[in-house]
Every structure is written in C-alpha cells, then in structure tokens.
Structure 1
Amino acid sequence: MDVLSPVGSFSAWDYVVFSVMLLVSAAIGLYYAYVGRHGSQSSGDFLTGGRSMTAVPVAMSLSASFMSAITVLATPAEVYRYGASYVCYGLAYVIVMATCSEIFLPVFYRLGITSTYQYLEMRFNRATRLFGTALFILQTVLYTGIVIYAPALALNQVTGFDLWGAVISTGVVCTFYCTLGGLKAVVWTDVFQVGIMVAGFLAVIIQSVLRQGGVAVILSDAKEGGRLDLLDFDLNPLRRHTFWTITFGGAFVWITVYGINQAQVQRYISCKSLAHAKMSLYVNLLGLWVILVCSVFAGLCLYSIYKHCDPWTTGQISSPDQLMPYLVLDILRGYPGLPGLFVAAAYSGTLSTVSSSINALATVTVEDLVKPYTDLSETQLSYLSKGLSFVYGAVCIGMAGLASLMGGLLQAAVSIFGVVGGPLLGLFTVGILCPFVNATGGLAGLLCGLVLSLWVGIGAQLYPPLPSMSRPLVLATHGCNGTLAILNHTIAAHTLGIFNHTIATHTTHSPVWLGNLSSADSRLPCLISRPLIADSWYSVSYLYFSLIGTLTAVSVAIITSLLSGNGKLNPSAGLTLCKEDLTLYCLLSLLKEKLSSSTGKLDLSGTPEGKTGRNNPAFCSMELSNTYTSFSRPPA
C-alpha cells in the first residue's frame, strides 16, 4: 500500500475485546485474593507464591515480565527503521539462559532467600545490601514509568483516548490485582497476557501477509530495502547495532534481568524444586524466541506496506513508536475486534511488566528495609506487603510522566537496565565467582561501575550518537498522494542535508539535533554545542552500557580486595559457586556412578526436597550441610 489512509477509530467490538482482557486480569487477582483469605497466607506466601509454582507457568511469566509494550510497539519500529539485525537477540537469549541457570540460579535457589539483595548481606555486609536495594528500587520505578507510558501512547494514537487517562487506568488495574492476589495472581495473569500478546502479533502478521500477497513478497521488499542485512561484524563499539553489540552487549543487558533482577529471580525461586526452576528458564527461552520472531517479522510487514510512503516522515504520526498502532487501524479496520486485540496485546505486555515490578518492589522493601529492623508478625507483614503494592503502583503511575520526556522507548528502557543493572551484575558476579573479594572491594566496585555507566548513559542522552553510527535506513515518501506530504519531505531532506554537511565539516563543536538524533527526525530541531567527547565516549552503543558497568565493577572489586590484604577470605559455605552446581560436572558424575554401579541405576530416592531449595536435583544428589542456614557474615 503506497497511499496513506487517515487513522481510524475503535469500534464497539474493539472496546469489548479490550475490556475482556482487563476483566480477566482483574478476575485472576480476585480469585487468588479469595483463595488466600481462606488460608493462613504469610508475607512469604504473598510475595513468593508459597514456593509451590511449577515450571511452565513460571516460564511463561518470565517471558511476559519484560516483554512489555516496548516489545509490541518499539521492536517492530526498530526493525522498520534499522533492519532485522535485531533477530540476533535470539543468540543472546541462549547465552543469557545458560549463564543464569549455571551461575546465579543454583546459588539463589539453595539459599531459600526471598529478596535477591539478602545475598549481598550474607556475602558482604548490610551497607552493600541497602545500597543494592536502593539502586534496584530506582531502576525499577524508572523502567516501569516507561512501560506504563508506552501503551498509553498507543491508545492515544489509535483511539483518541486521553493519554493520561490511559496511564492512570494502567496503573490502577495492575495495582488492583497485585495488591489482592500477590505473586500467584501476577504469574497467572502473565500466562494469560503472554497469549494475548502473541495473538495480537499474529493478527497483524496474518493480515499483512494476505494484503501483500505472501511471505515471499514481504521478505523480497525487506531485502530490497536493506532490512535483511542481518550480520554486521563491525567491531566498532560506536556502532549502534552490530552482531557484537546485540549478541554480547545485549546478553549482558538481559543477564542483569534474568540473573539478578528481583522480579525474575523471585519467579524461579518460587518453584517447588530446583529442577522446575531450571526448566522454567529454558521453557522461557522458547517463549522469548516466539515473541522475538513475531516482533521482528511485524517490523518487516511494516516496511513492506509503507516502503513508498512513510507515515512518520509525512507527519501522519508524531513518533516511530506509533507506527504499529497506525498500521493496525490501517489494515484491520474492516475486522471489528482485531484492532482491540492488538491494543490489548500492548496493554497486556504492560500489565505483566508493571505487576511484576510492583510485586518485586514490595518484596525488597519488606525483606530488606522492614524485616531486619522490626518485629512485626507474619500477618502484619502480609498486610504491609499489600499496602506497599498499592503505594508502589501509585509511584509508578507518577513516574510515567518522566517517560514522556525521554526519547525512543526501546533505547530508553534498555539504557536504564544497562546503566544501573551493569554495576549490580558486577557485584553479584564477584560475590559468586570470586571468594577472595571482600565487602570493601565489592562496594568500591559497585560505586565505580555506577559512576562510569552513569557518565556514559547521561552523556548519551544529552549528546545522542550521529546518524553515521546509528545508520538509520532510508524511509521513502515518493509514493504518497498529497502535495503537502511531498513538500514536507522535500523540506526535511534539504534541511537534514545541510545539517549533515555542517556536522561533517566541523570537528570540535559541531551542531547536533536536540533529542534523539539516532532517529534522524525530519522536524526542525534546536541546536546545542557538541563537545569532542560526544563523538567517542558518549557515542558508545547503548547496548554496551551494561558491559561497561559490569567490567568496571568486577575489575575494581578484585583490585581493591587484593590491595586491602584480604586475599584469603573464605565466605561461608553455599555463598559461592561450587563445582557440584555445574550441569556438566554432575552429568559426568552421574555417568561415572552409573558405570561403576552393579545395577546401572543411581538411587536418588533418599534425597530430601524442601521448599527452601536445599536439594539440587537438577544437577546432582549433593547433600547440603546445615551451614546453608547459619551464615556468618565475612569481615570487610
């Protein structure tokens, strides 16, 4: 389709589909609130589901938690503008799941902790725990503000529904079922919502394929437009997206999510055994691949339909993040209910992410900031957990206002995880893998990593990379009808050419677009002075922010610990990774046992299975000593 059509509006059936999604989500919260009322529900049951969850629902919840409206709206727009190299995340996810299941999961699960940051006090000291908790709360509130704002933007674009009315309603629904039902409600609503997300994508993809005449046509259009150049092995760290930035830089970003982020760790430690916890990560990998393929192909559908008439350049929409809602009402307006299904998909992604964040925020507040300093009963802590869920829901709604001031949703969200999550990942990594690192080294590494990653992250927001590094692909408008659209494109292209020429001829204080320059926005910007460091340090790919913070924290922690004279520090048993935790070691041990056994079978029937995860059936039948429940904090 080369001619732009005006944006349509919701029909009655669209509102019905959308409302059903909200009602089902709320009903799940009511159900678990009812079940909990007829049992003795402690704060632990409310926050961790009683550690009785099984692998499949937890896996689907893991997939849904951070595959939010940012995935539904921003990833297709990313592919539309920069190409399908984003699919390399499929390899990054493999690295993430293998790393988390082998290094982080065994340690956290066997400790039976509720908050991830309890580990920091066990391994280092209370000050490190409190600092890590504060960083997590800041990171999560900022990120949640973005994912609340994203679907509200979609609703505003496709229905004209009041933007801030949508923001408030999102927060209210999430807060409602989080406050009532706890983690079990969050997990089971995630299961429902991930199905809605995939259904919304499929509705758009199937109609696009039918409209364009087949998958082959869409792929051919994408190839001609340069959108299928998947493997760019350029090692330049300033390039926004290459094979290396996506695969390895992206892996570090997502290890901070699946390895140490409370919202995710809280899910797999809620499983009834380590085997279920480990399995949930790998089943979740399949879910991530499905969502990734759907979102990338949806971006190719976007390009195939608007390859000759870009709605953004011509001013039909005000932001690339509105491309998918525009497409939905353009191609699905003749099918009542389907536009509502897509917006329900975007909204489902947000509900799953925000509810996970609210539940995680309540958990770390109770476990890290309340329990160690009070003598409240379990009943009182349970009521406090529910009250905190309500409070954090309100806070996250307020933080959505900040998201409206940021640039592209995808880059903003990933940047937050990288800047704050990278140093935290470095701290947990040295704690688990380096027994000689002490509290002084760990805290010094965390602080240095945070300072460095904040420096590059804030600098990148103030001085975004030039188009020569981000390399947005060509967006055409020559197929549009209407003199105004062609005139707008001509003026924008001429103006952009002048400024690009000016940038190329200035080496010290070249002018730059004020805002997200990587988007090469066609609207006239203001100018600010651009320092030399902006084209080197500040232009590092946003996917490397986490890597920078992690490596800095690890390096400083190791050096400081060695210089402080505690190189022979020996943490309590269970706080560091041991060889029995590794799958390969246990498989070899099992094979050796089988070969040496006269019966050829290994008897595991005597292995206890406690809800706190003291057994390790996913790896071997290692007996854990009582020292796992009586930790002595090592000296600084």
Structure 2
Amino acid sequence: MNSTETIQEILGVKFSWHDYSFFTLMLIASAIIGVYYGFFKKQRTAQDYLLGGKSMGIIPVALSLTANNVSGVTLLAVPSDVYMHGISYWFTYVSLVIVIFVSYKVFVPVFANLKTPSSFEYLKRRYDTKTRMLGSMLYLISAILYLPVVMYMPSLALSQATGMNIHLINILVCTVCIFYTSVGGLKAVVYSDALQTVIMIGALVIAFILGVVRCGGFENVWNTSYEHNRLKLKFDIDFTLRNAFWAVTFGQFMTWLSFLGVSQVYIQKCLAIPSEKDVIKVLTIFALGIFVIGSLCNFTGLIMFTEYSNCDPVKSGILEKQDQLLPYYILDISKQLPGLAGLFIAGIFGAALSTLAGMLNSLSCTIFEDFISKYIPKNTTQLTISRILKLIVLIIGIVATGLVFVVEKLGGMLALSLSLSGITAGPILALFVGGMLIPKMNEKGAYYGSVTSLILMTIIVFGSQYYQNSGYLTTVPLPTSIEGCTFLNSTITQNYDFKIDGNSTSHTINEVPYIFRVPFYWYCTIGFVFAISLGLLISHFSKSKKNIDKELFSPVIYRFLSRNSDETIYVSEKLMESK
C-alpha cells in the first residue's frame, strides 16, 4: 500500500499539467538566468565569477543567503519533525537570528579586511599553510558528502508525487544547476536563488493559509496541537533528549555559528556587497527571511498533525517513512487549488538548487584558491582562471550527481550522511574562533586540537549510528492515531511500536555508552569544546614567537590586545600603533 498509484488513488488526485508547468518553468527560468550572465553579461575575471564584481544588490544577496540556508531537506524534514516530535525545533531559528548578528560583529570584519574570496586564506595568515589545508579539506569533505543528500531528498518527493523515475529527476535537475552555476558564476547563483526564494515563500504561504482554513482556523490547530503535547517543551538538563529546549537552542547555536559564521558560502556572499555598511542590511533581511520560512515550516507541521490527528499516514501504512509526509499533505490539499502541488515541489527543488549552486560556487573558490592557484603560472590571464573555475564546478557537479546513486543504496546510512556535518563542524569553528578571539592559540594548538577533535567526533557519530542501526537506540515520537482511517481493513497491519532494542528485549538503553546517546544537535558543541580545550593546552606547552597582525583578530577583542615580552603571541608594533 506504499506505491504512488495507491496514494493517488486514496487521495483522488494526480500531478496535473498545472503542476508540471510550474515545475518546468522554474527550471527554465533558472537556466535562462545562467545563459544571461554567462553569455550576455560575461564575467571575465575571477572576482567577477566568485564575487559578482563586488556589485551585487542588497535584496538579491539577502534572498540568496536565505535560499542557501533553507535546503529541500529542511523543507521536507522540519514539518515532519514537528508532526512527530512537537514545536521545539522552532527555537533553532531563534538561535539562528542571534548567530547572524554575532557573525556580523565577530567574523565578517576580519574576512572583509583580508580582501580574499577564500575564507581559508585566514588560517594561513593566522597560523600556517598546514592548518589552512586542514580547514579546506574539512570543508571539502563535509560539502561533497552533503551535496548528494541535498538533491536526493527533493527528488524522492517528486518521484512520490508523480511516479517519475528518481534517477531521471536527479540527472535533469542537477544538469540545470551545474549549467547555470558553471556558466553564470555568482551573479547567476544569486539571482536564480532570489527567484527560487520567492517561489519557496509563496508556496509555503499558500499552503499555510489553505491548511489553516481546511483545519477550521488557527485556534483549532493550536488547541489540537496542545491537547496532543505538540506544544510542550522539555527543559530537563539531560543531554540525551533529542528535542530538549537546550539542545535546539544552545546546541544549534553552535552548529549555526559553524555553518554561517565562518562558512565559505556565507562569507563569499557578504564580500560580494560593494559597501561594508550594506552588509548589515543584507543580514537583517536574511534573518527576517530565514525566521519567516522556519516559522512557516514549523507551523505547517502543526497543521499537518491537526489534519491527520485521527489517521496518521505513516502509522496506517500509506507512507513508508515520515519524510514523505509533507509531499503527501501538499498533494492532498492541492485538490482545493490545482497547481499547488507543482508550485510547492518547485519551491522544494528551488531550495535544493539554491543550496547546491551556492556550495558548487564556493567549492570552486576553495579548490582553486587552496589547491590549484599555487601551481599555475603567475602570468595566467583572468579569463583562463575564470574558465578553470567553471571547469571545477562542472567536475564537482558531476561527482555530486553520481554520488546521489550511492546515497540511494545506503538505506539506513542516509542518516549517517546527514550527521557527517557534525564531524567537521566543531573542528572548523574552533580553528576560526581560536584564531580571531584567542591570541594565545598558536598553529600547533589549532592544528592538533582540531585533528584530535575530528577523530573523536568520527568515533562518536559512527558509534551512535552503529547503536541505532543495531536497534539499541531509537527516537520515540509522540503518539499518533489511526482510529479515523476509514480505508483500513483487517488485513492491513503495521507494527508501529518503538522499542529501545529492535532485536531482543534483553538489552536496555543503559547498556549504550552515554556519549553515543547524545543527539546530533550537540555534535558541533562537543567537537568545538574539545578542539579549543586541547588546542589551548598544546599552545601553552609549545610557545610560539610568531608575529600576528591586529587585523587577524576580531575587533571585539582589540581592547584586550597588548605587546608584552612575556606573551607567547605578539601583535605587530606597526598595527598596534594604529589602534
């Protein structure tokens, strides 16, 4: 009872020509933007390609940043997570807004002074070449592993809604994205992102309004959610609780800080703004956009639960897993508004394309600046460099498209792929925070602290996945019901009981080491704290006499910098005099 035909038969609706039209128009519009900036507004220099010639507009960049940080995975996963576990995830977006302004004060001024498109150039100037290479490798590993996941989840949604072959969808959409990113550079990425953000917000707003009306008003949604504990917050001081208040606020604060504060994608677009004073305007619009979209996704989860409070599609056997809940819901309510399903799936793919395009563009910058530039002749023309950057995008895009086929075969390992970002997020954040805010952190401390943290986080993540796949660890959702499912009969049964151990009853959760029971919200925090602590310890016993320019520290600590013969870190005298 899990086939697309059966779902459409139960709902009494199919993907119509309106739906296909919306989806196709979104892809065509993105491709046209790439053609325009690739052939009619040619970008002949590396700065044109990577920074849009530092002439990007405030609103397009803000919308682009919003789209980059709301992937198709987010649009699919957040509503279903709220449906299953309650509204607590909404507080992650409160953390995100705070992170954006912390980043503006702490990190952005340092990168702006560097005047380089690669954020990892900072690590070379602050520490050494070896540490820079470490940071770049960590970013490349996490990005390349995440790219196929970004495309797989939306493709799965479209496949469920239409019955189209998932491989054909992946190849088609990835080809369009690779084309406009490689040909059009940052300008094509930003303006296509802006278009996709508008589509995404429009689809969310329409679905939200229709859902509220269909459920009998927002008051009914709120009351139903309250009665079934979807609005309850857990304030327990227990680091093993998945959706506890502290995990989704402080834990996610550190994760967002790593993904935004020092992210190549984020910094690269901030540097594309012609005036530094306009950066805060961009970030304000970005914060508002991400908060609105995050809130709509969360409340859509509550609306979905209200709609299916008496007939859970997963528990009843209509759907195989919770990630299919949102496409199912959108297909359901599209009976009231033909074309909504196509518009919404176009929004999901727009978010995925935005994330993919932004990462492809930033990866081309990182790979060229950190791994290729030192091997090409100094008299290489800007046009040749621009072509090299486009070739890098093409190669990475092809690799990511190929890895989608691998992700599909992983099954339960898909969750591991999503958790891999937690392996690298903490060590990367520690490299930049230690450099900008802790003068006593030296190159040996930064390098070996982050490498050791990387090893520790690899053990924690893989260990946690082992216990989950073995059935020792499960995430128990809030109760759902199938009492109102009129289509069920006595031959349809599904075991929806969640056990601590799926293999036998002889084991208990207490047999799993505590560290492996900590949810992924805390991975970045654990990695960061360990890297910083060990880094400071190593720095203390391996004193460095390297001169460090004041511009390599964040302006928030300028007042604490000094030149002292007893210090292990020196700030160059010339810059100190200019303080």
Q: Same fold (TM over 0.5)?
A: yes
CA distance in 1, matches of 2:188, 2:137: 26
| Counterpart position of 1:615 | none
| Counterpart position of 2:136 | 133
Per the TM alignment, residue 183 of structure 1 is displaced from its structure 2 partner at its CA by 0.4
249-258 or 470-479, which moves further after superposition? 470-479
Equivalent of residue 29 in structure 2, options 24, 29, 44? 24
- Tell me the amino acid that sits aligned with residue 78 of structure 1: D
User: What stretches of structure 2 of length at least 5 have no aligned partner?
Assistant: 1-7, 560-571
Counterpart secondary structure, 1:403: helix
CA distance in 1, matches of 2:393, 2:87: 38
Per the TM alignment, residue 338 of structure 1 is displaced from its structure 2 partner at its CA by 1.1
Per the TM alignment, residue 300 of structure 1 is displaced from its structure 2 partner at its CA by 0.7
Q: Aligned ranges for residues 120-519 of structure 1 at < 5 Å? A: 120-229=123-232, 231-375=233-377, 376-404=380-408, 405=410, 407=412, 415-464=419-468, 470-484=475-489, 487-489=492-494, 492-493=495-496, 496=498, 503=505, 506-507=507-508
What RMSD in Å do the two structures reach over aligned CA positions?
2.6
Change (3 A) 1:328 1:417: same
Equivalent of residue 572 in structure 1, options 542, 549, 569? 549
Equivalent pair of 2:472/2:507 in contact (CA under 8 Å): no
Per the TM alignment, residue 498 of structure 1 is displaced from its structure 2 partner at its CA by 10
CA distance in 2, matches of 1:7, 1:426: 53
- Tell me the amino acid that sits aligned with residue 400 of structure 1: V
- Tell me the amino acid that sits aligned with residue 268 of structure 2: Q
CA distance in 2, matches of 1:309, 1:467: 28
| Counterpart position of 1:563 | 541
- Tell me the amino acid that sits aligned with residue 300 of structure 1: L
- Tell me the amino acid that sits aligned with residue 202 of structure 1: V
CA distance in 2, matches of 1:48, 1:420: 26
| Counterpart position of 1:546 | 524
CA distance in 1, matches of 2:383, 2:427: 36
Change (3 A) 1:574 1:270: same
- The number of residue pairs the alignment matches comes to 553
CA distance in 2, matches of 1:625, 1:384: 40
CA distance in 2, matches of 1:488, 1:259: 48
CA distance in 2, matches of 1:553, 1:200: 42
Per the TM alignment, residue 397 of structure 1 is displaced from its structure 2 partner at its CA by 0.8
Structure 1, residues 219-278: CA drift from partner, whole Å, max 9, x if none?
11111111111x321111111111110101111111111111111111101111221223
Q: TM-score scaled to structure 1, two decimals?
A: 0.82
Change (3 A) 1:506 1:270: same
Per the TM alignment, residue 334 of structure 1 is displaced from its structure 2 partner at its CA by 4.4
- Tell me the amino acid that sits aligned with residue 576 of structure 1: F
CA distance in 2, matches of 1:627, 1:361: 33
- Tell me the amino acid that sits aligned with residue 121 of structure 1: K
- Tell me the amino acid that sits aligned with residue 391 of structure 2: G
Q: Aligned ranges for residues 63-82 of structure 1 at < 5 Å? A: 63-82=66-85
Change (3 A) 1:59 1:406: farther
Change (3 A) 1:259 1:402: farther
CA distance in 2, matches of 1:424, 1:433: 14
CA distance in 2, matches of 1:426, 1:344: 37
CA distance in 2, matches of 1:407, 1:195: 34
42-51 or 5-14, which moves further after superposition? 5-14
- Tell me the amino acid that sits aligned with residue 542 of structure 2: S
Equivalent pair of 1:4/1:481 in contact (CA under 8 Å): no
1:15 is the counterpart of 2:15: no
Equivalent pair of 1:238/1:469 in contact (CA under 8 Å): no
CA distance in 1, matches of 2:500, 2:553: 58
Equivalent pair of 1:437/1:569 in contact (CA under 8 Å): no
Equivalent pair of 1:4/1:309 in contact (CA under 8 Å): no
327-336 or 149-158, which moves further after superposition? 327-336
CA distance in 2, matches of 1:188, 1:538: 42
Per the TM alignment, residue 101 of structure 1 is displaced from its structure 2 partner at its CA by 0.9
Equivalent pair of 1:7/1:158 in contact (CA under 8 Å): no
462-471 or 6-15, which moves further after superposition? 462-471
Change (3 A) 1:61 1:496: closer
184-193 or 463-472, which moves further after superposition? 463-472
CA distance in 2, matches of 1:108, 1:406: 40
Per the TM alignment, residue 25 of structure 1 is displaced from its structure 2 partner at its CA by 0.9
Change (3 A) 1:483 1:163: same
Change (3 A) 1:131 1:537: same
Per the TM alignment, residue 54 of structure 1 is displaced from its structure 2 partner at its CA by 3.2
Structure 1, residues 480-517: CA drift from partner, whole Å, max 9, x if none?
1244478414xx15x656967954x534xx7xxxxxxx
Structure 1, residues 545-588: CA drift from partner, whole Å, max 9, x if none?
0001111111111111110122x654123111234879xxxxxx
CA distance in 1, matches of 2:45, 2:396: 20
User: What stretches of structure 1 of length at least 5 have no aligned partner?
Assistant: 511-530, 583-623, 629-636
Per the TM alignment, residue 144 of structure 1 is displaced from its structure 2 partner at its CA by 1.1
Equivalent pair of 1:63/1:284 in contact (CA under 8 Å): yes
CA distance in 2, matches of 1:416, 1:58: 28
CA distance in 1, matches of 2:15, 2:9: 19
Percent sequence identity over matched residues?
A: 32
Per the TM alignment, residue 95 of structure 1 is displaced from its structure 2 partner at its CA by 2.5
CA distance in 1, matches of 2:40, 2:558: 36
CA distance in 2, matches of 1:192, 1:21: 9
Counterpart secondary structure, 1:317: coil
Equivalent pair of 1:239/1:469 in contact (CA under 8 Å): no
Equivalent pair of 1:148/1:400 in contact (CA under 8 Å): yes
Equivalent pair of 1:178/1:358 in contact (CA under 8 Å): yes
Per the TM alignment, residue 281 of structure 1 is displaced from its structure 2 partner at its CA by 1.8
Equivalent pair of 1:8/1:333 in contact (CA under 8 Å): yes
| Counterpart position of 2:566 | none
Per the TM alignment, residue 32 of structure 1 is displaced from its structure 2 partner at its CA by 0.9
